């Protein structure tokens, strides 16, 4: 299963952190710091895998992908296939891209709730629930519509593309 | 940068971003939390929008690493709100902030259930997501049936059903009883007919979880999985949205192949054929392309296919195809593929018989050790470690040593540990082992843990031949100007003990050795100084004739440290100074350290621990565990019958075998495959760890408790309860039912007699098994270890070992595992207590099955009378009063023995000596007579002095007169008979001993010279 999904920037600031096994908040931060320390020391053009057992304990693997100023990090156990998880990161990023059009770090910062929603439609309790980014988008748009329809105060437009921040 | 959604949240995030430092951030957050707390106090005034805004703020704060310890009640209560936005926020916040043990969650169970069984799909999704993320046991019990209904419902949209599948998986993990196996298996199979790939993906994850616990129940799903895989691989009916870079749902392909790996085999020939066609297509049809994402996806599928092929034990041809692919991968440019290529090669070592093909890639793997990516270097190290065996140990270890100097800091510790373990496990000779470890200390002293140098000391102490070599080697190192402190420690220890063996070499006089060591004293820490002081004391003792100058130098040092603030150093200094002034007594007290009891290498133990405790779901590891013995498995060293051997990583570990494995083995025991997988049922605890330090660093320490395995179950065999009859009756009876078609190697009787005189060696050997033995005595206790070594690539099964003890011995024998895995050695400790003097012999009734051969042998155990003797030198002034006080029968017996094998007097003296009866020279004025003494230990006699006098006739060496005296009549008699037996006939291959009560039953046919040195080495390495 997938144990955690994290997005952090190249300064080590957390942009998203979701743990699928309960951990106290201090422990979460410790793990994030540990991972960042390893990630920031890695060169370009190396593999997307790092040794996670020293940070996360036995039977854990880590796959990350570096996009511009962000690291996307997935931690999982040996029941998952490493390259398939790497694909999953790609699906996640492509979905964000569809949602925000040329997604950048600030989109993720300010649309924190939206990013959460996307992740929830893709990973469910540590298991992958959907791998098709168009299906994920469909589900997210449905939720947005609902939010818009039932929320008189906010100015959320009817379609998700309206969530674009610029 | 505006945000349409929640203005307040955007403002808050901006504020946080504008904070200059952590302190400001904290202040801002505290302010916000105070604000949120206040607003929630007066909940009535909050609009749904505001609630939502505040909850997202809390989540954001939580993500930043601040504990949000309030609002739990509020978030949970939002779940029961009737309107969507509040409910949504309630569910999301609950699943982020709460864990399954939170009491508030209980309050929500009813609401959650209502949402699940309600008609509102959106609510269903919210509820399922929350339960799927944090649902606990209580949720499992009350919600599982409803979730199952949703999953199976034909009226539900795929969006809901795929979530229901994963929600059920979560509930199943929390409480496996919620899925009723009988009813569910058919439904699971039905679910696999699903056309919607989203639902199918989730269902496949559910299936993986179910079959990993119990594949038996889900056989009907197997052909369906193959069908799904075929559909995807042939790209039939795969909608565009599930095609990822031109590949039909790689994720589902991977999951399906993962599910297939939990079925031990595929019996149906047509299903198997279809699957292999698909796999073949994947293996052959995957190319490295330019697009990175496409590459990743296609190789995700390819690597999973490789894993499945390995699991299915495909035909040899397909296997070598796989290795060839992996060989290609480890050399490609794409780093991810290199990484996985190495990793999968390591896995391949574990599960199949392709080591020889993998060895062909050794050069490339060694190159990967220098890859720019540390992740790849680690995988290369793992692989080299796994593929190492006696044939390539030298090459690999030397590569590791070379790499050590340039390796990055983060890897050095692991690297040096692995090099040390390999050197120990596969040393072709011990001097090489010493070389390697010293090089390791030299190059990476900081990373050499104490266990590593303790181990060298143990080997050197236990192997006389090695001592001068090791002493000369450490001197070379310590001669260098800058040496690591660990090197000082090991050098001081070895030079202290053994430098006198070098005394004749240039530059190795005691004085010179002392000054080399003493130079280092100023540079070392307080833990090393005591070792140096011990070395000085020993050097001083070995200096013959005494050197006054050296003595005064050393005494001065002791003097100086007598008032040292460190208690340990002070004590050594005071004690050594006092001892040195005692003169002759020094010799006894500072005598050479006794041999260390054999123990399992703490290094190897450590390696095992790190491999052991993982609660595992992975198919490959499961297989590896199935191949692992439950007993202490250690490596063997000897290439048997020309077959090169290797030990897989898996076989080395002491893995706690999950109980589910036993059920798996019931399926098809007569199949070769399931035999391969081993049938283990019992798990032994780790042996207690032994404090090595106390043994090595305590110069006067009596040997510590033996580091033997104490297994959980002992069969206490008491010799007092008619055991004697058992021996006399059954032990001698040859086996009638089975004719042993297996011929033993070497002469069993000869091996037995050799072992009566020494402590370790081979007791029995045939083409399949070698039984080694190691004994270690202390008073009337003997601790004996049997080493059962399987020489084959197939396991030995139905292994039984029963000890038939004679009446005078009390024996405790641990259970022998039923199966000895391929190429593994199992240690079985045996505790023996001597109750009273007797010459009876214990018999080991040993049987095992190899293929269809049932082999049964009865072997005498060398726990004979002389093992309970302890040589003692009795001075004349004590000997004669004793001799006189034991005035005649039954305490003193005399007999004229005829038919003695003629031998010169010194030879006879040596013979007695080898029985631990010590010659006391000068007591008898007649040069043709021998006087000797010994102490006998048993529970009834305690330590009892025995005196022996043998008068020989130089004119007729075939007869002699022997007088025996001791304080116990039966001891006198038994010892007299014992010595007589030994003198009458020294057993040789041609004339087996006439007297022993339990003659060997198997036919001796020598094929290979006994006492294979490699086998003895293997015993020592254990």
Q: Which class for A152: exposed (0-12), middle (13-18), buried (19 or more C-beta within 10 A)?
A: exposed
Q: Looking at the predicted structure, is the pLDDT value of residue B473 above 70?
A: yes
With a CB cutoff of 8 Å and minimum separation 6, the contacts of B772 are B760, B761, B762, B763, B786, B787, B789, B1015, B1016, B1018, B1019
* Cβ-nearest to A46 among B60, B372, B618: B372
A90 contacts in chain B (CB < 8 Å): 293, 296
pLDDT single digits (tens) B59-102:
899 989 888 876 777 778 888 888 888 888 889 888 888 888 78
Token code pair at residue B740 = 């042993």
Comparing CB atoms, the residue among B64, B249, B376 nearest residue A131 is: B249
Beta strands (DSSP E) in B555-702 are 633-635
Q: Across the interface, do A16 and B63 touch by the CB < 8 Å criterion?
A: yes
pLDDT tens digits for range B924-966: 888 888 888 898 988 888 888 889 988 888 888 888 888 989 8
Q: In terms of Cα–Cα distance, which of A90, A94, A162, A102 is closest to A134?
A: A94
Residues of B in contact with A14 (CB under 8 A): 63-65
Distance CA B930, CA B906 (A): 10
Mean pLDDT computed over B231-256: 93
Per-residue tokens: B363: 């050069």
| A87/B297 CB distance under 8 A | yes
Per-residue pLDDT tens over the stretch B648-695: 333 333 333 333 333 333 333 333 333 333 333 333 444 433 343 333
pTM value is 0.62
Residue B254 has pLDDT above 80, yes or no: yes
pLDDT per residue as tens digits for the range B89-147: 889 888 888 888 788 888 888 899 999 998 888 899 999 999 999 888 888 888 999 99
Looking at CA atoms only, how far is residue B242 from chain A in angstroms? 5
- How do residues B328-380 score in pLDDT, each as one tens digit? 999 988 899 999 999 999 988 876 677 888 888 999 999 998 888 889 999 99
> Is residue B50 reached through a cis peptide bond, with omega within 30 degrees of 0 on the bond before it?
no
> What dihedral do alpha carbons B197, B198, B200, B206 form, nearest 10°?
160
Query: For B442-446, B639-643, B759-763, which range has the lowest pLDDT when averaged over its residues?
Result: B639-643
The reported pLDDT for the residue numbered B594 is 79
Q: Distance (Å, rounded) from C-alpha A140 to C-alpha B130?
A: 16
Q: How far is A42 from chain B (nearest CA, A)?
A: 8
pLDDT digits 0-9 by tens, B418-463: 898 898 888 888 899 999 999 999 988 888 888 888 888 988 998 8
A81 contacts on B by Cβ (under 8 Å)? 254, 258, 300, 303-304
Provide the pLDDT confidence category of residue B599 given band limits of 50, 70 and 90.
Answer: low
- Quickly count: other Cβ atoms within 10 Å of residue B147's Cβ: 31
Q: Dihedrals φ, ψ of B992, to 5°?
A: -65, 155
B987 vs B1000: CA distance, rounded Å? 13
| pLDDT, position B828 | 82
Q: Is B7 annotated as a binding residue?
A: yes
At B199 the pLDDT is: 94
| Residue B184 counted as an annotated binding residue | no
Cβ partners under 8 Å of residue B72, min gap 6: B97, B98, B102, B104
Digit-coded pLDDT (tens) for B489-503: 999 999 998 988 888
Share of chain A above pLDDT 90, in %: 63
Neighbouring CB atoms inside 10 A of B904's CB total 11
pLDDT digits (tens, 9 = 90+) for B735-753: 334 445 677 888 888 888 8
pLDDT (average), residues B765-784: 84
Contact across the interface for A25 and B65, Cβ inside 8 Å: yes
DSSP conformation class of B796: B
- What pLDDT was estimated at residue B169? 93
Inter-chain residue contact A129 with B617, CB threshold 8 Å = no
- How far away is chain A from the Cα of B298, in angstroms, using its nearest Cα? 9
Neighbour count for residue B702 (Cβ, 10 Å): 8
**Phi/psi class of residue B945: alpha, beta or left (left: φ > 0; alpha: ψ in -120 to 50)?**
beta
**Is B810 annotated as a binding-site member?**
no
Smallest Cβ–Cβ distance between B65 and the set A16, A29, A154 belongs to A29
With a cut of 80, say whether residue B705 has pLDDT above it.
no
Chain A residues in contact with B208 by the CB 8 A cut-off are 79
CA A15 remoteness from chain centre: 9
Question: What domains are there in chain B, each with its CATH number?
Answer: 4-258 (1.25.10.10), 449-597+678-683 (no CATH), 600-665 (no CATH), 717-863 (2.60.40.1230), 868-1021 (3.30.310.10)
Question: Apex CA B620: angle with CA B615 and CA B625, to 5°?
Answer: 60
The residue to which tokens 């050794």 are assigned? B362
Q: B90: distance to nearest CA of chain A, Å?
A: 13
With contacts defined as CB-CB under 8 Å, which chain A residues touch B370? none
Q: What is the pLDDT of residues B170-219, one digit of tens each?
A: 999 999 988 887 788 899 999 999 989 999 999 999 999 999 988 888 99
Q: In the A/B pair of chains, how many CB contacts fall below 8 A?
A: 204
Higher local confidence (pLDDT), B632 or B455: B455
The confidence score (pLDDT) of residue B435 equals 93
The model's confidence at residue B1007, banded by pLDDT at 50, 70 and 90, is very low
CB contact under 8 A, A84 and B13: no
B311 vs B662, residue with greater confidence: B311
Q: How far apart are CA B453 and CA B489, in angstroms?
A: 8
**Which one of B63, B299, B376 has the shortest CB-CB distance to A83?**
B299
B56 marked ligand binding residue: yes
- Return the higher-pLDDT residue of A100 and B882: A100
Mean predicted confidence (pLDDT) in A4-21? 93
Determine the average pLDDT of the residues in B760-785: 84
Confidence class for position B609, pLDDT limits 50, 70, 90: low
From the list A16, A58, A83, the residue facing B614 with the nearest CB is A58
Contact A163/B6, CB-based, under 8 Å? no
Give the total residue count for chain B. 1022
Phi then psi dihedrals of residue A76, to 5 deg: -155, 175
- What whole-number distance in Å separates Cα of residue B266 and Cα of residue B268? 6
pLDDT of residue B990: 43
A47 with B376: Cβ contact below 8 A: yes
B53 is in an annotated binding site: yes
How far is the alpha carbon of A30 from chain B, nearest alpha carbon, in Å? 9
pLDDT in tens, B579-588: 887 766 677 7
Q: Is B630 helix (H, G, I), strand (E, B) or coil?
A: coil
Q: Is B997 annotated as a binding residue?
A: no
B617 min Cα distance to partner chain A (Å): 6
Cβ <8 Å between A154 and B132: no
In sign, the C-alpha dihedral spanning A9, A11, A15, A19 is positive
Q: Which residues of B831-870 are buried (b: 16+ CB within 10 A; e: fewer)?
A: bbbbbbbbbbbbbbbbbbbbeeebbbbbbbbbbbbbbbbe
Judged by CB atoms closer than 8 Å, whether chains meet at B4 and A166 is answered as no
Determine, for residues B250 and A150 on separate chains, whether the beta-carbon distance falls below 8 Å: no
B55 annotated as ligand-binding: yes
Answer yes or no: do B338 and A58 touch at CB < 8 A: no
Q: How confident is the model at residue B876 (pLDDT cuts 50, 70, 90)?
A: confident
List pLDDT tens digits, range B513-555.
Answer: 999 999 988 889 999 999 999 999 888 888 878 888 888 899 8
* B626 cis-preceded (ω within 30 degrees of 0): no
B130 phi and psi, to 5 degrees?
-65, -50
Q: What is the DSSP string of B885-915?
A: HS-STTTEEEEEE-SPPP--HHHHHHHHHHT
Mean pLDDT of chain B: 78
Q: Note whether B13 contacts A109, CB cutoff 8 Å.
A: yes
A26 CB neighbours in chain B (<8 A) are 65, 67
pLDDT higher than 90, residue B1: no
DSSP structure string for chain A? -EEEEEEEETTS-EEEEEESS---HHHHHHHHHHHHHHHTTPPTTS-SEE--HHHH-SS-EEEEEEETTEEEEEEE-TTS-HHHHHHHHHHHHHHHHHHHSS--HHHHHHTHHHHHHHHHHHEETTEE----HHHHHHHHHHHHHHHHHH-SSS---SSGGGG---
Across the interface, do B618 and A78 touch by the CB < 8 Å criterion? yes
All structural domains of chain A with their residue ranges: 2-154
Rounded CA separation A148/A155 (Å): 8
Query: Closest by alpha carbon to B134, among A22, A18, A25?
Result: A22
Distance in angstroms (rounded) separating the CA atoms of residues B333 and B902: 77
- For residue B303, pLDDT over 60 is answered with yes
Residue B54 marked ligand-binding: yes
Name the residue among A59, A87, A132 with its Cβ closest to that of B614.
A59
CA-angle at B430, arms to B427 and B436, nearest 5° = 70
Q: Which residue of chain A has the CA closest to B258?
A: A79
Distance from CA of A73 to the nearest CA of B (A): 15
- The matching CATH number, chosen from 3.40.50.300, 2.60.120.620, 3.90.550.10, 3.30.450.60, for A2-154 is 3.30.450.60
Q: What is the pLDDT of residue B956?
A: 83
- Three-class secondary structure of residue B28 per DSSP: helix
Higher pLDDT pick, B329 / B722: B329
CA–CA distance, B946 with B697 (Å, rounded to integer): 35
Query: What span, in angstroms and rounded, lies between the C-alpha atoms of B359 and B368?
Result: 14
Q: Could you report the per-residue pLDDT of A61-114, keeping only the tens digit for each?
A: 999 999 989 999 999 998 999 999 999 999 999 999 999 988 899 999 988 888
All residues of chain B having their beta carbon less than 8 Å from the beta carbon of residue A58 are 613-614
pLDDT at B951: 87
User: What number is the average pLDDT over the span B795-822?
Assistant: 82
Give the nearest partner residue to B63 out of A14, A49, A77, using CB atoms.
A14
Question: How far B272 CA lies from chain A's nearest CA (Å)?
Answer: 23
The pLDDT assigned to B986 comes to 53
Distances (CA, A) of B899 to B37, B951, B986: 105, 15, 12
């Amino acid at each position: 299963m997938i144990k955690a999904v994290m997005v952090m920037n190249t300064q080590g600031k957390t942009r998203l952190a979701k743990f699928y096994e309960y951990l106290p908040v201090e422990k979460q931060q410790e793990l994030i710091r540990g991972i960042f320390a390893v990630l920031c020391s890695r060169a370009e053009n190396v593999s997307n895998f790092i040794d996670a057992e020293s940070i996360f304990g036995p039977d854990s693997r880590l796959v990350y992908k570096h996009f511009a100023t962000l690291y996307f990090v997935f931690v999982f156990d040996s029941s998952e296939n490493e390259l398939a998880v790497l694909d999953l990161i790609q699906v996640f990023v492509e979905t964000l891209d569809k949602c925000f059009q040329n997604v950048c770090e600030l989109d993720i910062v300010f649309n924190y709730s939206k990013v959460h929603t996307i992740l929830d439609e893709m990973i469910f309790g540590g298991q992958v629930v959907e791998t098709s980014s168009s299906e994920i988008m469909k589900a997210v748009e449905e939720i947005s519509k609902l939010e818009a329809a039932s929320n008189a105060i906010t100015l959320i437009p009817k379609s998700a593309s309206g969530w674009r921040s610029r | 940068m505006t945000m349409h959604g929640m203005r307040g949240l955007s403002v808050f995030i901006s504020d946080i971003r504008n904070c200059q430092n952590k302190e400001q951030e904290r202040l801002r957050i505290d302010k916000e939390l105070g604000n949120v707390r206040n607003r929630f106090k007066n909940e009535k005034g909050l609009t749904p929008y505001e609630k939502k805004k505040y909850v997202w703020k809390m989540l954001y704060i939580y993500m930043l690493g601040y504990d949000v310890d309030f609002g739990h009640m509020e978030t949970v209560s939002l779940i029961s709100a009737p309107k969507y936005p509040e409910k949504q926020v309630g569910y999301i916040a609950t699943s982020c902030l709460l864990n399954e043990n939170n009491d508030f969650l209980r309050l929500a169970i009813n609401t959650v259930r209502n949402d699940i069984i309600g008609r509102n799909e959106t609510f269903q999704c919210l509820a399922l997501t929350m339960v799927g993320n944090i649902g606990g046991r209580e949720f499992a019990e009350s919600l599982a049936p409803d979730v199952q209904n949703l999953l199976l419902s034909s009226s539900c949209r795929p969006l809901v059903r795929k979530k229901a599948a994963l929600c059920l998986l979560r509930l199943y993990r929390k409480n496996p009883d919620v899925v009723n196996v009988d009813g569910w298996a058919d439904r699971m199979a039905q679910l696999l007919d699903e056309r919607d790939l989203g639902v199918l993906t989730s269902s496949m994850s559910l299936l993986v979880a179910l079959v990993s616990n119990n594949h038996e129940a889900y056989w009907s799903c197997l052909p369906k999985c193959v069908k799904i895989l075929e559909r995807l691989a042939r790209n039939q009916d795969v909608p565009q949205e599930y095609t990822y870079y031109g590949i039909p749902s790689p994720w589902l392909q991977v999951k399906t192949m993962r599910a297939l790996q939990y079925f031990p085999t595929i019996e149906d020939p047509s299903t198997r054929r279809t699957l292999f066609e698909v796999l073949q297509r994947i293996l052959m049809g995957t190319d490295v392309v330019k697009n990175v994402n496409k590459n990743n996806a296609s190789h995700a599928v390819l690597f999973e296919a490789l894993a499945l092929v390995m699991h299915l034990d495909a035909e040899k041809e397909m296997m070598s195809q796989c290795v060839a692919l992996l060989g290609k991968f480890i050399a490609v440019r794409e780093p991810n593929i290199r990484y996985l290529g190495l990793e999968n090669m390591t896995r391949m070592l574990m599960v199949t018989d392709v080591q020889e093909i993998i060895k062909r890639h050794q050069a490339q793997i060694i190159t990967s050790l220098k890859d720019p990516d540390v992740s790849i270097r680690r995988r290369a190290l793992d692989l080299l470690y796994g593929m190492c065996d006696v044939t390539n140990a030298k090459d690999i270890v030397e590569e590791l040593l070379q790499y050590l100097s340039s390796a990055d800091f983060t890897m050095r510790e692991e690297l040096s540990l692995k090099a040390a373990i390999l050197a120990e496990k596969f040393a072709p000779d011990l001097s090489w082992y010493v070389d390697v470890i010293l090089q390791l200390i030299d190059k990476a002293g900081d990373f050499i843990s104490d266990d590593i140098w303790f181990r060298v000391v143990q080997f050197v102490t236990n192997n006389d031949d090695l001592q001068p070599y090791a002493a000369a080697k450490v001197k070379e190192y310590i001669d260098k100007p800058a040496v690591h402190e660990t090197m000082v420690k090991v050098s001081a220890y070895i030079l202290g003990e053994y430098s006198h063996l070098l005394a004749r070499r240039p530059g190795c006089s005691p004085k010179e050795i002392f000054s080399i060591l003493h130079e280092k004293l100023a540079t070392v820490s307080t833990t090393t100084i005591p070792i140096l002081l011990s070395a000085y004391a020993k050097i001083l003792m070995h200096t013959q004739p005494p050197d006054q100058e050296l003595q005064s130098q050393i005494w001065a040092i002791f003097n100086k440290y007598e008032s040292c603030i460190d208690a340990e150093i002070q004590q050594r200094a005071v004690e050594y100074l006092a001892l040195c002034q005692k003169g002759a007594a020094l010799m006894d007290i500072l005598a050479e350290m006794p041999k260390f009891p054999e123990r399992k290498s703490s290094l190897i133990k450590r390696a095992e621990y790190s491999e052991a405790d993982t609660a595992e779901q992975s198919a490959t590891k499961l297989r590896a565990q199935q191949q692992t013995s439950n007993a202490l498995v250690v490596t063997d060293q000897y290439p048997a019958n020309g077959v090169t051997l290797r030990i897989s990583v898996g076989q080395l570990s002491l893995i706690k075998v999950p109980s589910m494995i036993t059920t798996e083995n019931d399926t098809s025991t007569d199949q070769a495959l399931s035999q391969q997988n081993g049938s283990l049922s019992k798990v032994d605890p780790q042996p207690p760890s032994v404090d090595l330090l106390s043994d090595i660093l305590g110069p006067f320490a009596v040997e510590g408790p033996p580091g033997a395995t104490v297994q959980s179950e002992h069969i206490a065999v008491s010799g007092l309860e008619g055991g004697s009859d058992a021996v006399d009756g059954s032990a001698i009876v040859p086996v009638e039912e089975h004719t042993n078609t297996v011929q033993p190697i070497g002469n069993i009787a000869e091996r037995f007699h050799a072992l009566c005189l020494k402590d370790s060696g081979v007791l029995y050997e045939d083409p399949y098994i070698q039984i080694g033995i190691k004994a270690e005595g202390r008073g009337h206790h003997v601790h004996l270890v049997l080493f059962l070594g399987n020489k084959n690539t197939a396991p030995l099964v139905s292994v039984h070992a029963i000890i038939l003890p004679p009446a005078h011995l009390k024996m405790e024998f641990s259970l022998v595992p039923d199966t000895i895995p391929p190429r593994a050695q199992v240690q079985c400790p045996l505790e023996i207590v001597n109750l009273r003097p007797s010459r009876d012999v214990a018999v080991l009734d040993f049987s095992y099955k190899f293929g269809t051969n049932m082999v049964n042998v009865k072997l005498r155990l060398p726990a004979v009378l002389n093992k309970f003797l302890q040589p003692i030198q009795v001075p004349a002034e004590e000997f004669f009063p004793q001799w006189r006080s034991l005035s005649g029968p039954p305490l003193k017996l005399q007999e004229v023995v005829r038919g003695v094998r003629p031998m010169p007097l010194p030879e006879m003296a040596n013979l007695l000596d080898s029985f631990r009866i010590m010659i006391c020279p000068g007591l008898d004025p007649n040069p043709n007579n021998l006087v000797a003494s010994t102490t006998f230990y048993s529970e009834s006699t305690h330590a009892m002095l025995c005196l022996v006098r043998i008068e020989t006739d130089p004119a007729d060496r075939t007869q002699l007169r022997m007088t025996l005296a001791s304080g116990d009549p039966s001891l006198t008699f038994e010892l007299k008979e014992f010595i007589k037996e030994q003198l009458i006939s020294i057993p040789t291959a041609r004339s087996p001993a006439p007297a022993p009560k339990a003659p060997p039953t198997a036919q001796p046919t020598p094929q290979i010279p006994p006492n294979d040195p490699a086998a003895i080495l293997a015993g020592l390495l254990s």
